[in-house]
């Protein structure tokens, strides 16, 4: 799924449907570059110390963002939790080659937004980061953006990539069709 399509779904999402769009605690965002300073410069975020660690906090409240200046293996491997699946391994290779920063959005800020659930707050931050990526042509991947089944088994249709990677994603899709044909 393309990022622009996913953001539209998030904007229109009802509370009971956030789970289907994968909005949950520790929501991972893979980026081709570190956008921490850009978020802080926007005025919508500030730095905060929480549990002996620095986070970026959303000024409105609720959401903290942990920034890791590397691709977190636990996030990248979400798409390869079935090592026998060649298609998911290709996604993992693609993610390792294109993404170098991981953000985790978490609803742990002490300041809460009145009348807004943690899922709504997380969705607003995901939308904000997604729009920043689109506007600045930053590569972005949401490796678990669409929920599949209860066990969260990884599937390529659960992964959202930024639209500026479309040519490369199309090439990956062609490669996936070839891999499926070899089975």
Going 93 to 94 to 98 to 102, the CA torsion angle's sign is negative
At 147, the pLDDT band (50, 70, 90 cuts) reads: low
pTM for the whole thing?
0.84
The strands making up 64-68's β-sheet, listed across from edge to edge, are: 45-50, 53-58, 64-68, 101-106, 27-31, 140-142, 160-161
Quick: pLDDT tens for 69-125. Answer: 877 654 554 544 555 566 777 777 888 888 889 999 999 999 999 999 999 999 999
- Paired with 29 in beta bridges are 103
Q: What are phi and psi of 174, to 5 degrees?
A: -60, -40
Q: How far apart, in Å, do the first and last CA atoms of the chain sit?
A: 24
């Amino acid at each position: 799924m393309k990022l622009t399509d996913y953001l539209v779904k998030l904007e229109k999402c009802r509370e009971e449907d956030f789970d289907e769009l994968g909005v949950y605690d520790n929501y991972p965002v893979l980026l081709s570059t570190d956008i921490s300073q850009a978020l802080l410069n926007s005025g919508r975020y500030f730095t905060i110390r929480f549990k002996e660690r620095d986070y970026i906090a959303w000024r409105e409240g609720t959401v903290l963002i942990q920034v890791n200046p590397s691709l977190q293996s636990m996030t990248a491997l979400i798409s390869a939790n079935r090592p026998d699946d060649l298609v998911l391994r290709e996604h993992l290779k693609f993610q390792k080659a294109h993404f170098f920063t991981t953000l985790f959005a978490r609803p742990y800020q002490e300041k809460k937004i009145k009348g807004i659930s943690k899922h709504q707050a997380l969705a607003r931050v995901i939308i904000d980061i997604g729009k920043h990526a689109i506007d600045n042509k930053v590569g972005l991947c949401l490796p678990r953006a669409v929920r599949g089944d209860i066990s969260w088994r990884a599937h390529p249709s659960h992964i959202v990539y930024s639209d500026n990677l479309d040519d490369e994603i199309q090439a990956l899709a062609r490669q996936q069709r070839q891999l499926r044909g070899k089975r």
